[in-house]
Amino acid sequence: MEETYLLNTEGVKKKILHGGRGELPKFQDGSKIIFHFQTLKDDFERTVIDDSREAGIPMEIIVGKMFKLEIWETLLSSMRAGEVAEFWCDAIHTGMYALVSRGMRRIAEGRDPLEGQKHRCGMGNMFDYHSTGYDDLDELQRTPQPLIFIMELFQVEEPSAYKRDTWAMNKEEKLAAVPVLHSEGNRLVLRKEFGQAAAKYQEAVICLRNLQAKEKPWEEGWLKLESLVTPLVLNYCQCQLELGEYYEVLEHTTELLQKHNDNAKAYFKRAKAHAAVWNEREAREDFLRVAHLDPSMAAAVKKELKQLGERMRKKHVEDRKYYQRLFQPP
């Protein structure tokens, strides 16, 4: 019969189902904990609510990064590598489980875990929490109850032993990561590896946008971060032009120009994307705006307009021939 242990936390009991190996790992801030978990109701059937093995990949949390279900860090910190343990947790520790589970399920489904909560005030987000979108989780949310967590700890990686995901970085680490990602993107562009370069620029933009979300729009701190975002977005758009993702370019340049309507480089890249998808009028308007905003780009604009005219004439000839064949009697 498994022995029950009382952790130094009220409302938590532990049973070791399979002993671990070695010493207790060092769970320092920034350490990555990799584990599988199963969540069960404390009922006669021990109804399974979630099982990370069904998703095919183990769960990861970072120590000290305030994971919404704080008790999990406490539970895992009592385990050795290779250990499997069952934890009974009272309702005082499980009230947030429905929201945590919703996020994990959405990630497993390939959806945004914050869907419905972006750009919303706190009161608006409360209405989202009224329903999780899953019946079993809605029940847990209405009536918080004790839960059982069965966990298998695979390993604990020290902060220096793995590449930190940007979401797990603090403000200083994100700011330090941005120029590194920018430089890596530039290096990949020189090697014409545009897809990988775009991913580096995008990751840097995400770092800065996360920091911007904590600043008041258009004030000094926000503007300083925005000045770093703009060249990264332009580099990202240039990669997308090279990859033929023209509508992606249209989306991001338009968003950029809504905030910075005097950015000649953004107009230039948007004009090239318009030209690529045969939006002749929009392309001409953007090219002419570039020449007006930055006379030094007039020669490049003239060349692009000439190429646009030639392409459009060729397209008109091909279209005319196509329709002549289409309506020619057999």
Q: Which amino acid is at 250?
A: L
Cα–Cα distance for residue pair 289/152, rounded to 1 Å: 60
Q: Look at residue 144 and tell me if it is in a domain.
A: yes
Shared-domain flag, residues 118 and 261: no
169: left (phi over 0), alpha (psi -120 to 50) or beta: beta
For 62, the domain range is 4-157
Nearest to 88 by CA among 43, 131, 25, 121: 43
Shared-domain flag, residues 92 and 183: no
Shared-domain flag, residues 132 and 255: no
Cα–Cα distance for residue pair 173/7, rounded to 1 Å: 34
Outline where DSSP puts E strands in 48-175. 48-51, 59-62, 84-89, 147-157
Q: Any idea what the CATH number is for the domain that residue 17 is in? A: 3.10.50.40
Q: CA-based Rg of the chain, rounded to a whole angstrom?
A: 27
Q: Look at residue 163 and tell me if it is in a domain.
A: no
Q: Look at residue 165 and tell me if it is in a domain.
A: no
Cα–Cα distance for residue pair 117/232, rounded to 1 Å: 26
Angle at 88 between CA 82 and CA 90, to 5 degrees: 140
Q: Give me the number of domains the chain comprises.
A: 2
- For the CA atoms of 192, 198, 204, 205, the dihedral, rounded to the nearest 10 degrees, stands at 140
Shared-domain flag, residues 151 and 177: no
Cα–Cα distance for residue pair 194/188, rounded to 1 Å: 7
Rounded to 5 degrees, φ, ψ at 13 are -125, 145
Of 96, 131, 157, at which residue does a domain stop? 157
| pLDDT attached to residue 176 | 86
Of 157, 185, 209, at which residue does a domain stop? 157
Cα–Cα distance for residue pair 39/52, rounded to 1 Å: 9
Shared-domain flag, residues 288 and 260: yes
Record the pTM.
0.54
| pLDDT attached to residue 119 | 39
Token digits of residue 32: 């990555």
Q: Look at residue 151 and tell me if it is in a domain.
A: yes
User: Which 8-state DSSP code applies to residue 83?
Assistant: -
Q: Look at residue 110 and tell me if it is in a domain.
A: yes
Rounded to 5 degrees, φ, ψ at 4 are -95, 130
Shared-domain flag, residues 152 and 68: yes
Contact 189, 197 (CB under 8 A): yes
Q: Look at residue 36 and tell me if it is in a domain.
A: yes
Integer CA distances (angstroms), 11 to 5, 60, 74, 259, in order: 12, 24, 12, 52
Rounded to 5 degrees, φ, ψ at 46 are 50, 60
Of 157, 181, 201, at which residue does a domain stop? 157
Q: Look at residue 29 and tell me if it is in a domain.
A: yes
Contact 152, 34 (CB under 8 A): no
Q: Look at residue 27 and tell me if it is in a domain.
A: yes
Please name the helix (run of DSSP H) or strand (run of DSSP E) that holds residue 123, with its range, or none: helix 122-129
Shared-domain flag, residues 124 and 182: no
Residuewise pLDDT in 10s, the chain (330 residues): 456 777 788 999 999 999 999 889 888 887 889 999 999 999 999 999 999 998 788 898 888 776 778 899 999 999 999 999 999 999 999 988 998 998 888 877 765 444 544 433 433 343 344 677 899 999 998 888 999 999 999 999 887 655 566 666 778 878 888 998 999 999 999 999 999 999 999 989 988 998 998 899 899 999 999 999 999 999 999 999 999 999 999 999 999 999 999 999 999 999 999 999 989 999 999 999 999 999 999 999 999 999 999 988 887 787 777 767 777 676
Shared-domain flag, residues 88 and 191: no
Rounded to 5 degrees, φ, ψ at 156 are -125, 120
Shared-domain flag, residues 150 and 178: no
Shared-domain flag, residues 198 and 137: no
Shared-domain flag, residues 82 and 200: no
Shared-domain flag, residues 84 and 139: yes
Q: Any idea what the CATH number is for the domain that residue 261 is in? A: 1.25.40.10
